[in-house]
Amino acid sequence: MRIALFVTCLVDALYPRVGQATVTLLERLGHEVVFPAGQTCCGQMHVNSGYPREALTLVRHHVDVFEDAEVIVAPSGSCAGSVRHQHAALARDAGDDALAVRADAVAARTVELSELLVDVLGVEDVGAYYPHRVTYHPTCHSLRVLRVGDRPLRLLRRVAGMTLLELPEAATCCGFGGTFAVKNAATSTAMLADKMRHIVGTGAEVATAGDASCLMHIGGGLSRLGAPTRTVHLAEILASTAAAPS
Amino acid sequence: MSRAFLGIPAIGVPAAGPAALGAPTVGVPTVGAAAPPGVGHLHASRPFPAAARDALADPQLRRNLGHATGVIRAKRAAAVAELDDWEQLRLAGEAIKRSTMASLDTHLVRLEAEVTARGGTVHWARDAREANAIVTGLVRSTGADEVVKVKSMATQEIGLNEALAAAGITAVETDLAELIIQLGEDRPSHILVPAIHRNRGEIRDLFLRTMPDVDPQLAAEPRQLAMAARAHLRRTFLRARVAVSGANLAIAETGTLAVVESEGNGRMCLTLPDTLITVMGIEKVLPSWSDLEVFLQLLPRSSTGERMNPYTSLWTGVTPGDGPRAFHLVLLDNGRTAALADRVGRDALHCIRCSACLNVCPVYERTGGHAYGSIYPGPIGAVLSPQLTGLHRGSDGGGGGATFNASLPFASSLCGACFDACPVRIDIPSLLVRLRAAAVDAARDAQRLPTPEALSMAAAAHVMSSPARFAAAESASRLARLAGRRTGRLSALPWPLSAWTATRDAPRPPAETFRQWWSRTHPDRP
């Protein structure tokens, strides 16, 4: 299958290894990955900060770039969630019904990585090998906007050599929330502290999730504390093999 | 004074201001004013981030809240899991609320007619001041200087107790938790469990200090504390001549009011005194008796995590020889028709005050209710309070101090737990996002000059709408690699990102962006 990668601005600029792992994984599974070069950002930060007009420019750009793609995958529940649940609504609110129809069409073909693997490609065992103790944090938007359910866990359970440790109160937010982490830094940090306590308590070497943004938050906190747990994106675990470990 | 001034505002019709009480305007698009400042408890007096910081610094509060919300969350989850048709019930609740709001004027006029036909009197209050004046006048006309109260959010919203006190009338809260708040001269911090921020030990100490004839050996044990409150309240119940209540819902077709509660204090207030005065927000009306089936299932399971609440009181007008001799219903607007005028924002009026969204909210669980300022805290409060009051910032100009309700829609990580828990499926995260845009617009209008944030958002949109500009910005940001070259992480960034690095490291930009890697490794591909 020819799959268009929407790598997301955060991964592009700060976590290229997550995009690389997504490409490695999908190519290993025998698929063709394309990277529409004009792509930038879904505009979620603008919408969620109260700037829908500025976001609309980015929505129009995103639709222009991805309109011809057959399937679009993002290694992010949050950015895929914005494309699916915010783009057309923004266009409609702005009175641009033509753009809304086009945005709806792009949204219908946009999936997050675990949805692509389980639902579109019909695979749960991706042939990964990752000999580590891992705990999984289901990010809010993958869970409650996209409703990915246990798809990431089904993929992780088939990873050879890995010990999957259950995270207490897993479904509770880590406190990132985009600009919330800065505007309400104290509350965000209080939420992060509880998330980190649960993660470290599992004894895991690695905390994983499907969103680089939440991992940036959790990982930034763990690093500041000097905690023994590091953060690794789901795509990096699934891309790892015995021959080419990540 | 019993004349309807309310009508469903037509979408797109600008607010006409409060219509004159002298003329019936049912069916005519009219919108009341926002809830006035300086009266009641709807306005945050400090920005949420500052109030939250203080709350977060109190470890006892954190423990009390964490424990209590955890217990209620688990109870609710179990009560909801029992029902195979829970999602259908939620859909039914949402559908009934949506259709009721679409013809609220009709249902309210019907309610007024039915209550009146059964011997009650209906009063219309445009705002908190009018409602307080109506209730104060009614109590005065009975000659009583004391009223017993059923726990009620509407009377907390309008600051009725303070208004009555100013008129020399003592209001006695009879719900255990509200009594704890009243005796401690405290403020409620939760819709359902107003004293959730207090633990047993703190309550025992309060009772020993404030109840004149309490047993000095009183233990910090729930049953002993409840019995002490019972003894304390009993004398008041038996002598009270006037009761004031709120209402969980009202049935338009029969003129019936309903209060659901757990302690039986409500039943005492609703049946013992000669005069009963009920203050109800206009959004609480339901069209028909059969709607009770849905809401009497949704409400107790969502609020206390019970299949059924212990006491459900329903009353219709007055009944000779049984219950109060006089019944007054005060219908309160106080910003509700203004909220109703917003096609999307009106969903916040569907709220049945179950407080399930508070108990699942990771922000509420850590800051507690006082940080929100308004009597309506948590996710629903963050969308309801600013809609009732408007989003203006700073001094209210009305002598009531400052109001910072514009900061409330930002008090959320948009995690979505509130929407999943809401029994009437209010999409609180989407409402929060819309209100953020309204708050940004209000700030823009007030300032005339763009804020630093607005400038950076516009700049970011400009950069990100062009791949060339975005790639150039990425290259520039890699200058930060210099800062993190020793540790591989950034521990101090300039404002506003200093708020991030105060407690969290930031990633060091990579040597190569993804798009650079892609063009290097896939030169023949798009």
pLDDT digits (tens, 9 = 90+) for A224-242: 999 999 999 999 999 999 9
How many cross-chain Cβ pairs, A to B, lie less than 8 Å apart? 198
Give me the pLDDT at residue B393, please: 61
Q: Domain end: B386, B414, B449, which one?
A: B449
- C-beta of residue B472 within 8 angstroms of C-beta of residue B516: no
- C-beta of residue A114 within 8 angstroms of C-beta of residue A152: yes
The partner residue sitting opposite B436, judged by closest CB among A38, A49, A189, is A49
Give the span between the Cα atoms of B378 and B391, in whole angstroms.
Answer: 17
Within a domain: B149:
yes
Measure in Å the smallest separation between the Cα of A118 and chain B Cα atoms: 24
Give me the pLDDT at residue B296, please: 97
Q: What residues are paired with B316 via a beta bridge? A: B256
Give the span between the Cα atoms of A192 and A198, in whole angstroms.
Answer: 10
Q: What residues are paired with B12 via a beta bridge? A: none
Give the span between the Cα atoms of A177 and B413, in whole angstroms.
Answer: 4
Mutate one of A9, A15, A18, A51 to test the B interface: name it (highest B CB count within 10 A).
A51
Give me the pLDDT at residue B394, please: 55
> For A183-197, A203-217, B489-503, which range has the lowest pLDDT when averaged over its residues?
B489-503
Within a domain: B292:
yes
A73 touches chain B (CB under 8 A): no
Give me the pLDDT at residue B403, please: 77
Please indicate, yes or no, whether residues B434 and B461 belong to a single structural domain of this protein. no
ipTM score for this prediction = 0.97
CB-based burial of residue B272 (10 Å sphere; 0-12 exposed, 13-18 middle, 19+ buried)? middle
Measure in Å the smallest separation between the Cα of A176 and chain B Cα atoms: 7
B510 touches chain A (CB under 8 A): yes
Within a domain: B193:
yes
The partner residue sitting opposite A57, judged by closest CB among B437, B465, B467, is B465
Please indicate, yes or no, whether residues B170 and B182 belong to a single structural domain of this protein. yes
Give me the pLDDT at residue B526, please: 61
Please indicate, yes or no, whether residues B28 and B151 belong to a single structural domain of this protein. yes
How does pLDDT run across B337-390, given as a tens digit for each residue?
999 988 888 999 999 999 999 999 999 999 999 999 999 999 999 999 999 999
**Between residues A217 and B1, which one has the greater pLDDT?**
A217
Q: Domain end: B399, B434, B449, which one?
A: B449
How does pLDDT run across A183-205, given as a tens digit for each residue?
999 999 999 999 999 999 999 99
Q: Which residues of B touch A36 (CB under 8 A)?
A: 526
Please indicate, yes or no, whether residues B419 and B507 belong to a single structural domain of this protein. no
Please indicate, yes or no, whether residues B305 and B442 belong to a single structural domain of this protein. yes
Please indicate, yes or no, whether residues B437 and B462 belong to a single structural domain of this protein. no
How does pLDDT run across A99-150, given as a tens digit for each residue?
999 999 999 999 999 999 999 999 999 999 999 999 999 999 999 999 999 9
Within a domain: B526:
no
- Name the average pLDDT for chain B: 90
Please indicate, yes or no, whether residues B442 and B459 belong to a single structural domain of this protein. no
A41 touches chain B (CB under 8 A): yes
Q: What residues are paired with B394 via a beta bridge? A: B403
Please indicate, yes or no, whether residues B338 and B483 belong to a single structural domain of this protein. no
pLDDT at B396 over 60: no
How does pLDDT run across A27-85, given as a tens digit for each residue?
999 999 999 999 999 999 999 999 999 999 999 999 999 999 999 999 999 999 999 99
How does pLDDT run across B242-284, given as a tens digit for each residue?
999 999 999 999 999 999 999 999 999 999 999 999 999 999 9
Q: How many domains does chain B have?
A: 2
Please indicate, yes or no, whether residues B227 and B327 belong to a single structural domain of this protein. yes
pLDDT range class, residue B291, cuts 50, 70, 90: very high
Cross-chain residue pair B509–A180, CB shorter than 8 Å: no
* Mean pLDDT of the A168-178 span: 97
Cross-chain residue pair A223–B505, CB shorter than 8 Å: yes
- C-beta of residue B8 within 8 angstroms of C-beta of residue B105: yes
Give me the pLDDT at residue B22, please: 32
Give me the pLDDT at residue B344, please: 81
Give me the percent of chain B exceeding a pLDDT of 90.
77
Q: Domain end: B449, B467, B494, which one?
A: B449
A61 touches chain B (CB under 8 A): yes
Within a domain: B231:
yes
Give the span between the Cα atoms of A216 and A222, in whole angstroms.
Answer: 10
Within a domain: B389:
yes
> CA-CA-CA-CA torsion for B63, B65, B69, B72, nearest 10 degrees?
90
DSSP B193: -
- Name the average pLDDT for chain A: 97
pLDDT range class, residue B160, cuts 50, 70, 90: very high
List the domains of chain A with CATH numbers.
Answer: 2-120 (3.40.50), 133-239 (3.40.50)
**Between residues B30 and B503, which one has the greater pLDDT?**
B503
| Buried-exposed string B284-305: b where 16+ CB fall within 10 A, e elsewhere | bbbbeeebbebbbbbbbbbbbb
Please indicate, yes or no, whether residues B269 and B374 belong to a single structural domain of this protein. yes
Please indicate, yes or no, whether residues B441 and B459 belong to a single structural domain of this protein. no
Please indicate, yes or no, whether residues B470 and B360 belong to a single structural domain of this protein. no
Q: Alpha-carbon Rg of chain A, whole angstroms?
A: 18
pLDDT range class, residue B392, cuts 50, 70, 90: confident
Tell me the residue range of the domain where B103 lies. 1-449
Within a domain: B225:
yes
pLDDT range class, residue B475, cuts 50, 70, 90: confident
A191 touches chain B (CB under 8 A): yes
Within a domain: B245:
yes
Instruction: Quote the pTM value.
Output: 0.93
* Mean pLDDT of the B59-65 span: 92
